[in-house]
Structure 1
Amino acid sequence: MLASLLLLATAVVAAPSADTGCTRDQLQAVADSIVAAQTAGNPALVKPAAAADVAVTENRQSSSLASSILSRALKPDHVRSSLDTTQCATYTEMIVASGAKPYEIGVQVFLAPGDASAIHRVDTIYTSTGDWLFNITGTLYWASKESWTTIPEAQRDTRAVIQAAADAYCDIFSNKSTVVPWGTPCARLEGGSYTGKGAADDSCNVGIPSGVTLTKRRYVIDETIGAVDVMMAFADLPDSHDFRVEKGKLRYVHTMTVMTGAKGKSGGAKGRRRGVTSEIKESL
């Protein structure tokens, strides 16, 4: 009986809602408007318009669209988006390698399920010079080489499988007994550092610290490309981990961790992140 209930619960979580009212075309338009707003430095270009009670966070601090990084004119050199038709949400990765200051920017946007007429939440994580392993040249180079293309429908993983793979990766930081579905090959882009060499045995299972909790997770999941972005607190630091999952296994991991300014103010968390720098660099 318990097993049956667990299977039913999993099915309820994984099954798309029939009345979300969000199509991939609608969500692609939202993602495109984020890029247009960032390029122009004009948050008013974000469509649909924000609801009156829209919640906005930037590097895990309360903000507003008008004062956010979207108000700075930054032309992305690389863009990739995930479209979550179950939650009516999008995630857009933008790499800005030109201009006076480089940035890597991740934006999650949530519409109300069943009502695609307004934006109800916007969460942004962005990194720049001084943040964890930040090197925009490496970030752009490696991200541009990866393939996050559409997965044939018969080969797609469920939402539950995709999220479980991401959660296992996040959980192993605090629980080394966690079984992570490592793919082979798998490549991790961390700041501008890359674990992949284009070899069949490339691994993401390197430089994983111990005793660190990854909490307050917020997900955007796109089964069509096998992607899930998780915005969270890495210990106390603002963080985004973006995953590509193929046949239940991790294929790509992109990470951003904010370590500069008030947004990355936790000294203890900084110490734990910096404490694994040599271990990660030795493995890259």
Structure 2
Amino acid sequence: MLAPLAALLALTALSLAAPSPPYPRLPRQGAAASCTRALLRANSEIYLAAQTAGNPGLLTALAAPNFTYTEDAVARDIKKGALATALVLAHNRTIIDTTQCATYTEIISTGAQTQRVIGTQLRYDATGKWLVKAETLVTKEGDWAFNATQTYGYAAREDGLWDEIASAAQDRRAVIQAAGDAYLDLFNNASVVVPWGTPCHRLEGGWYTGNGSATDSCNVGVPSGVPITNRRYVVDEVLGTVDAFVTFGSRPDSHEFRVEGGKIRFVHTLTVMRNVTG
């Protein structure tokens, strides 16, 4: 389900009407002593509001002085990037990493003129109040297996299947990351043993493995001889999920894994294939 954005969007409308400053600053979060799930969740709501309104200033209101932004692995001016285009969000889902004080958000927009599947990693300082780094991958027509409508249809099938895992059953973050790494390592080393779960579903652009049966598998083959490097992780033990922003051969890519009992149950990928310039 979409996160509640009405209050933030109302604030957006008021701030856009003001003559200055050119990018309004939202009130700061409460003075948290450390990075918490609640604080990072609230920050992710601000990111979603910024994307919905097409107003990057809502997010840069949280920016630290050393803030950096990349889009499709290229340094860009955030005011001229993906956040400057208002999107109607058919789907969004966020994972939260309190150890690294980071989030990853998956967005799907199926609008006729704004079909997008976007993955964004946001990294904060130790308090969670100041945004230090934002990396976003924006897939659209021309990218690997892109079809936003189909992606949304398949993602919707998984509603409720990425929910919180009971604390007693949660894997350690090292186990979750290792499962994702095994999958990524397989592309360059066919001897790697991947902890496949059953059933398992893989969403790759507009392609989906499985038909809903108890024996559905993600072990349906991968290309060989492809190094996957430059891995940047967001790990959420509560949701059993890790996202890795990587360089897939030479392409910007995101692989997100849901891991249950040490086994991979879901994989979501997006890969930027278009030539990207700064």
TM-score by length of 1: 0.83
Question: 1:92 corresponds to which residue?
Answer: 105
Counterparts of 2:114 and 2:99 in 1: how far apart (Å)? 36
Q: Say whether 1:21 aligns with 2:28.
A: no
Question: 1:77 corresponds to which residue?
Answer: 90
Counterparts of 2:243 and 2:252 in 1: how far apart (Å)? 14
Q: Say whether 1:120 aligns with 2:101.
A: no
Q: Say whether 1:53 aligns with 2:66.
A: yes
Paired residues in the alignment total 244
Question: Is the CA contact (8 Å cut-off) linking 1:20 and 1:85 kept in structure 2?
Answer: no
Counterparts of 1:20 and 1:247 in 2: how far apart (Å)? 32
Identity %: 50
| 1:220-278 Cα distance to aligned partner (Å, 9 max, x none) | 01011111110010001010001100110000000001111326xxxxxxxxxxxxxxx
Question: 1:62 corresponds to which residue?
Answer: 75
Q: Say whether 1:249 aligns with 2:263.
A: yes
Q: Say whether 1:133 aligns with 2:145.
A: yes
Q: Say whether 1:144 aligns with 2:151.
A: no
Question: 1:209 corresponds to which residue?
Answer: 223
Name the amino acid aligned to 1:167: D
> 1:138 deviation in Å?
1.2
Question: 2:248 corresponds to which residue?
Answer: 234
> 1:47 deviation in Å?
6.8
| 1:139-183 Cα distance to aligned partner (Å, 9 max, x none) | 000101111001000000010000000000000000011110001
More helix by share: 1
> 1:20 deviation in Å?
8.1
Name the amino acid aligned to 2:171: D
Specify whether residues 259 and 196 from structure 1 end up closer, same or farther in structure 2 by C-alpha distance, changes over 3 A only.
same
| SS of 1:53 mapped into structure 2 | strand
Question: Is the CA contact (8 Å cut-off) linking 2:245 and 2:255 kept in structure 1?
Answer: yes
Q: Say whether 1:157 aligns with 2:171.
A: yes
| 1:13-44 Cα distance to aligned partner (Å, 9 max, x none) | xxxxxx98111110101111111000000011
Following superposition of structure 1 onto structure 2, how do residues 191-210 of structure 1 map, counting pairs within 5 Å?
191-210=205-224
Counterparts of 2:33 and 2:175 in 1: how far apart (Å)? 21
Specify whether residues 203 and 20 from structure 1 end up closer, same or farther in structure 2 by C-alpha distance, changes over 3 A only.
farther
| 1:103-154 Cα distance to aligned partner (Å, 9 max, x none) | 00011000012x2221000010110111101111210001011110010000
Question: 1:105 corresponds to which residue?
Answer: 118
| SS of 2:38 mapped into structure 1 | helix
Counterparts of 2:208 and 2:223 in 1: how far apart (Å)? 17
Question: Is the CA contact (8 Å cut-off) linking 1:157 and 1:247 kept in structure 2?
Answer: yes
Question: 1:223 corresponds to which residue?
Answer: 237
Question: Is the CA contact (8 Å cut-off) linking 1:182 and 1:249 kept in structure 2?
Answer: yes
| Structure 1 residue ranges (4+ consecutive) displaced by more than 6 angstroms after TM superposition | none
| CA RMSD between the two structures | 1.4
Specify whether residues 111 and 241 from structure 1 end up closer, same or farther in structure 2 by C-alpha distance, changes over 3 A only.
same
Stretches of structure 2 that go unaligned for 5 or more consecutive residues are 1-31
Question: Is the CA contact (8 Å cut-off) linking 1:111 and 1:121 kept in structure 2?
Answer: yes
Question: 1:271 corresponds to which residue?
Answer: none
Question: Is the CA contact (8 Å cut-off) linking 1:33 and 1:47 kept in structure 2?
Answer: no
Counterparts of 1:136 and 1:116 in 2: how far apart (Å)? 32
> 1:207 deviation in Å?
3.0
Name the amino acid aligned to 1:171: D
Counterparts of 1:227 and 1:31 in 2: how far apart (Å)? 17
Counterpart of 1:180 (choices 194, 197, 207) is 194
